[in-house]
Structure 1
Amino acid sequence: MKQVSFFEGGQRLQMTESIELTIQSLQAYLPDHPDVGMAWSGGKDSTAMLTVFVWLMETGRIQRPRSLTIFLADTRMELLPLWAAAMQIIDELRERGIRVDIVMAPMDKRFMVYILGRGVPPPNNNTLRWCTRQIKIDPMQAAIAERLAEFPDNFLMITGVRQGESAIRDQRIEMSCGKDGAECGQGWYQKVLPEAKGLRGRIATLAPLLHWRVCHVWEWLKHWAPKEEFGDWSTAMIADAYGGDEAEEINARTGCTGCPLAQEDKALDGVLRMPQWTYLEPLKGIRPLWRELREPQHRLKKAGAERLKDGSIAKNPQRMGPLTFEARLMGLERILAIQIAINTEARAQRRPEISLINADEEARIRELIAAETWPDGWEGDEPTGDTIMETVYQNGAVQPLLFHSSEAA
């Protein structure tokens, strides 16, 4: 017989009860951690946690930490309504004297520069999912480690993780919910962040919104947080990025603009259904571009069995590789054309403009192409992916062509 969890059956938590449990969670752990940080994505859950925390702190319901640092992940790929809301909230935080560090990947690791400048193919869900780690996780860990070096004590990172937000994440929570003495209702507390350079053993994490249902998140963002008595936050615009009034019903999630890993642009489609954001329609051309750039004619491939440093043969002989220079320039011009089309209409409507590739990034992309830059392990003299050649297997065996082009003619 399946045991009913705290989140199933019985009477569901009301909004005030959820807030009270969040207060208890923070009161239980803040005294042991004078320095606090928050990893903020700009999404619904982390924004709810951020604004709830500051409101509770300012009204004296929880202890004010010795230092509070907000780390906002700027992947350069956020949906525009989400990013515009984040910029307003940053102003409101800084007016309160709260430190906000905007975290971004180094120039050559940024999404557009990495693809169009260095020539690395767009990420996919099978063999090349490099984006999340590179443009979000690694820069965030580096920024936290740099800030942590300023303090003698351990650091408490507050997160907006919720039960039910992700099935995979829920499994991880269930496996560790009793870790480090955390009690039911006190959030998901862990004393040690997963192994990361510069952070080992010096960070605890706490998820005080673990028990919040998605309807509580929307209730807070749309109705509570914008009121003066709860902080007068600019959170209503966030609902736009998740589908407006329908966001709660569809349990909406967002990803990067034109995310190549998603099957559909559901978040963008939701935004485009709202009259104030229809000028972003050209963004629908980004995902088809990523699909096109994966095609063989736009990439190089290994001509034969690739030898690794240890002398063994690579598991995927004749693997497809980086983008040709022509493909990179084509992609660059397409993205810039989308940006120009959107911003021309944005200025006409006096709406927020978008920055897919800024001037510095464009200059760096063109510089990398002019320098004939290739990813590690590629020389640039390999054939294009659509070149017909003998098949090479992992064991080194070769399957000759049955017909040569001259014979076929």
Structure 2
Amino acid sequence: MKEYNGKPLVEGLLEEIKHVYRSDNRPWVIGYSGGKDSTVVVHLVYQMLKNLRPEERHKTVYIVSSDTLVENPLIKIYLDDMLHLLDKSAKRDSLPISVNKVTPKPDTSFWANVIGRGFPTPRLNGTFRWCTDRLKIAPSGQFVENIIKEQHTEIVFILGVRKAESAARKRRIEGRELADRLLNRHETIKEAYVYPPIVSLSTDDVWDILMSNNRKNAWGGDNSQLIELYSGADSGECPFAGYSSKEDQQQSCGQSRFGCWICTVVQEDKSLNGFIRSGHRELIPLAEFRKWLMSIRDVPEYREKKRRDGSVYRTSQNQLGFGPFTWEARQMILRRLLQTQKQMNYELITIDELRAIDRIWDEEQDLSCRVLVDLYYDEMGERLPWDQLKRPVFDEETCKKLEKYASEFSVPMDLMKSMIFRTNKTKFFSNTRILRESLRKAVTQQWLQEAELVNAQEGTRNEDQQSDTL
């Protein structure tokens, strides 16, 4: 049997974890993703706490799970069940364990950014990789910051990272290790330390621990479910964003691991497809939606030719580069997402996210203030809770007149809408300078100058062509 610090593996690990726990009063934070490594870490810490006398359990262990709101349904259901059981068992055993699930704020979620603001989905090559930071790092980071601020204390991250995961991970871990020290300084959070208790374990060691005790973990969960998930998905896990750098977090996500079902930074989601091949055909609509969303990303008719801030850029072929999804494309994405949700009878977008998207559209695109709530009713057959509260900025007749005037006087409708929304937002401000400055920004955006330049160039080109024919 393998030994650790001169004792049988598990006994040696428990002894070391107990020593670190008893050595100071700093709270512990454990990122629990539901994967094999984080499960082993929580299992060992839970068992260590049970072995202590009540008076020795002197500080809180925070179990934190990060839900991006676009997790694979099978993983989400499993993880929610484990978190519920973990919380229930910790209270039964009188252990100082606090179980928490963190999520991105509704207005920063994946769908709020894609459907609300029109963010293009993250690329396969990793450029414009906005998802990891907003969906995973920021929510968990905010949770940790709150602990530090509220308790005026340093904290210790207990991480389920292992050198055996990959050669690259081994180099990164060893690059941060301090000789003969169990705890290392966190790379980005000055009030935090890092303790990786299973850092030297092999993958076989991890599975041996999970398979022991009739596959029961310390809080009574059945590890057989976890084993089935791995065998079905042929994947790893996407851990809590508590490691020392954003690079490590990005290395651990989007590589065919347990994670977001909509992930677009891989060509093939082996985890999702693995579950489907193993018999979970209820997930087929998710795979089809993901494939469709990736297929429309770079279709010109679905993309603006300006960025959200009004700036433009040109490609190496001197063509105007793409900006966010058009408003029409965003409506199309939402409609298809709701259709998929209805088909699966599983929530893919929350009511809070829909509310956030509606607010964004009201401030940027929708003069009627009815597009989202009416679209939702068309697809789902029921009204959103705030449906009756929606009142248009202008009635339908006025909106048509605005479009007519915009066309008649060659004023871009986007500019008209931008000025209306800016005025509406600041109309009750006592300082009129704010409104004037906002309107000035609207009429001096780069895309308007670019449009004038293109029109001037086309006019010159037409004059030259006419001269050639004379």
> So what's the TM-score if we normalise by structure 2?
0.64
1:22 equivalenced with 2:13 (yes/no): yes
Q: More helix by proportion, 1 or 2?
A: 2
The CA RMSD over aligned residues, in Å, is: 3.7
Please give the alpha-carbon distance, in whole angstroms, between the structure 2 residues aligned to 1:328 and 1:26.
Answer: 50
Residue 90 of structure 1 aligns with which residue? 83
Report the 3-state secondary structure (helix = DSSP H, G, I; strand = E; otherwise coil) of the residue aligned with 1:38. Answer: strand
2:334 aligned partner, one-letter code: L
1:255 positional shift:
2.7
Contact 1:225 1:233 in 2 (8 A): no
Contact 2:117 2:360 in 1 (8 A): yes
Deviation sequence 1:19-77 (CA, Å, 0-9, x none):
24432432342223322111222332212211221122213399634112111111112
The 1:167/1:111 distance shift into structure 2, 3 A limit, reads farther
Contact 2:314 2:321 in 1 (8 A): no
Deviation sequence 1:101-120 (CA, Å, 0-9, x none):
21111111111111111111
Give the total of aligned pairs: 346
Report the 3-state secondary structure (helix = DSSP H, G, I; strand = E; otherwise coil) of the residue aligned with 1:205. Answer: strand
Residue 168 of structure 2 aligns with which residue? 168
1:78 equivalenced with 2:71 (yes/no): yes
Please give the alpha-carbon distance, in whole angstroms, between the structure 2 residues aligned to 1:79 and 1:148.
Answer: 31
Residue 138 of structure 1 aligns with which residue? 138
1:294 equivalenced with 2:297 (yes/no): yes
Please give the alpha-carbon distance, in whole angstroms, between the structure 2 residues aligned to 1:18 and 1:400.
Answer: 76
Gapped regions of structure 2 (runs ≥ 5): 92-96, 237-254, 367-412, 416-449, 451-455, 466-470
Report 1:168-247 matches (<5 A). 168-178=168-178, 181-182=180-181, 189-191=183-185, 193-195=186-188, 200-224=189-213, 226-227=215-216, 230-244=218-232
2:10 aligned partner, one-letter code: I
Contact 1:117 1:328 in 2 (8 A): yes
1:74 aligned partner, one-letter code: D
1:366 positional shift:
3.5
1:322 positional shift:
0.4
1:17 positional shift:
4.2
Please give the alpha-carbon distance, in whole angstroms, between the structure 1 residues aligned to 2:301 and 2:22.
Answer: 60
Report the 3-state secondary structure (helix = DSSP H, G, I; strand = E; otherwise coil) of the residue aligned with 1:301. Answer: coil
Contact 2:126 2:265 in 1 (8 A): no
Residue 395 of structure 1 aligns with which residue? none
Please give the alpha-carbon distance, in whole angstroms, between the structure 2 residues aligned to 1:319 and 1:22.
Answer: 55
Report the 3-state secondary structure (helix = DSSP H, G, I; strand = E; otherwise coil) of the residue aligned with 1:237. Answer: helix
1:145 positional shift:
0.8
Choose which of 322, 326, 332 in structure 2 pairs with 1:324: 326
Choose which of 282, 302, 307 in structure 1 pairs with 2:285: 282
The 1:380/1:302 distance shift into structure 2, 3 A limit, reads same
Identical amino acids, percent of aligned pairs: 27
1:86 aligned partner, one-letter code: L
Please give the alpha-carbon distance, in whole angstroms, between the structure 2 residues aligned to 1:247 and 1:224.
Answer: 24
Contact 2:158 2:196 in 1 (8 A): yes
1:319 positional shift:
2.7
Gapped regions of structure 1 (runs ≥ 5): 1-10, 344-353, 382-391, 393-397
Contact 1:48 1:220 in 2 (8 A): yes
1:110 equivalenced with 2:116 (yes/no): no
The 1:215/1:155 distance shift into structure 2, 3 A limit, reads same
Please give the alpha-carbon distance, in whole angstroms, between the structure 2 residues aligned to 1:328 and 1:252.
Answer: 27
